[in-house]
Amino acid sequence: MRLLVIAERAEYRLLVRKHVEIEWPLAELVEHRLAADNPIEEQFVAAGFDAVVIVGVPPAKSAEALAADLTAKPEFAPIVLLLLEDPPKTEPAAVRGLHRVYGRKIDRDRLIRAVEAASREHRQMLSALRSHPDFEHRYRFGSVMIRGHRCIRQVGSGGMCRIYLAESERAGTLVVLKVFNQVPDVSERIVSFDRFLQEYEIVAGLKHPNIVRIYDLGVADDHAYIAMEHFPAGDLRQRMKAPMLPATALKFVEQIASALSAIHAVGVLHRDLKPANVMLRADESLSLIDFGLAKANELEVSLTGTREIFGTPYYMSPEQGHAEEIDGRSDLYSVGVMFYEMLTGHKPYTGATAMEVIYKHKRAELPEIAPQFAAYREILLRLLAKSPLDRYQSADALLEAIAALKTAA
């Protein structure tokens, strides 16, 4: 039994879990926190669940409205709507895919019967869908068939892969699915594929709230794919288009520094920190993505070649721009550029060409910091120092400076 449980209050999600696990000890429940998690997206149909349980607390109009919206989707999994109130005098009209359970408390027997009925209904629905000639097409990503991931649409492409929005039946959520153009022969050491594998190995091993979640990795039809967290709230670049309070900017820098602390601790550099690689969740927590340019310090052979420049010039450290040796302090410089831009609304260095920007990072003086940002001057000066020796020597040192600033305030 696999259920999606939707409720605003944690105690109700826990109570449903306990009742279900008594009946089905091996049941898998995924919880969705109303008003805290990202809203359920239009394309999501809960295909990987036997049923969806929604808990409605009086007045339960919002739960009723959510259930109505979800059951209106032709393929959405059947819903058990637990309404913690007395039943109405007139029973509402029956709705396909909706099983109402009334009561001021959650009654285990009625809950289990409703879940069993919903599950049977879902199996019948899936059986009908599988008999349709076009059923297999939903798992096709271009020429590649990836079962367990329902293709919604292609959202991008690059030299190494095509990028899709998909629903992962296993993860029970929408995901970004990167499908590589090919799986090279093991003996070929193709750089792009090495970077892909490295991205997965780096991220999958780090369970950190500010690092993208990796749900799946595999090979299908001779193509590698990776399923990762989807961020409907967009990226920091979009967020920076609107005015930002200094306290918000500092909070964002603190989260980025926390992620870098975890990454650097395992000997990995990001090497391409920029607003487009910092994603937002609905609760305004941040997550670092795109480790395709990251490099483990222990690798004997650089995947990017010797003295080759990789990164975005606006956010690139002086040493990286000049293809010099880099370490974690280079990532911290990139954080400084983003912090400056979040505070002031513009980048510290711009130019007509990439090389002009790279030159300014190395030689130009930092533009004057406006008086209203005086409290952050020391952090900015340390992060944006030309020499790595003059910067914070670690992400942890930056976190300590932020904590001291917040305490002083």
Catalytic annotation, residues: 272
Identify the burial level of 10 via C-beta atoms within 10 angstroms of its C-beta, where 0-12 means exposed, 13-18 middle and 19 or more buried: exposed
Which residue's structure tokens are 């097409």? 137
Let me know the angle formed at the C-alpha of 355 by 351 and 361, rounded to the nearest 5 degrees. Answer: 70
- β-pair partners for 153: 165
Residues whose CB falls within 8 Å of the CB of residue 353, separated by 6 or more in sequence, listed in order: none
Strands 161-168 and 173-180: antiparallel
- Please answer whether residues 219 and 146 qualify as being in contact, where contact means their C-beta atoms are separated by less than 8 angstroms: no
Determine how β-strand 149-157 pairs with β-strand 144-145. Answer: unpaired
Q: What is the amino acid identity at position 217?
A: L
Distance of CA 29 to the CA centre of its chain: 20
**Which structure tokens are listed for 31?**
């919880």
Beta bridge partners, 101, equal 82
Secondary structure (H, E, C), 91-155? CCCCCCCEEEEECCCCCHHHHHHHHHHHHHHHHHHHHHHHCCCCHHHHHEECCEECCCEEEEEEE
331: Cβ–Cβ under 8 A, 6 or more apart, which residues?
260, 263, 264, 269, 270, 271, 273, 395
Cβ within 8 Å of residue 348, ≥6 positions away: 337, 340, 341, 366, 367, 384
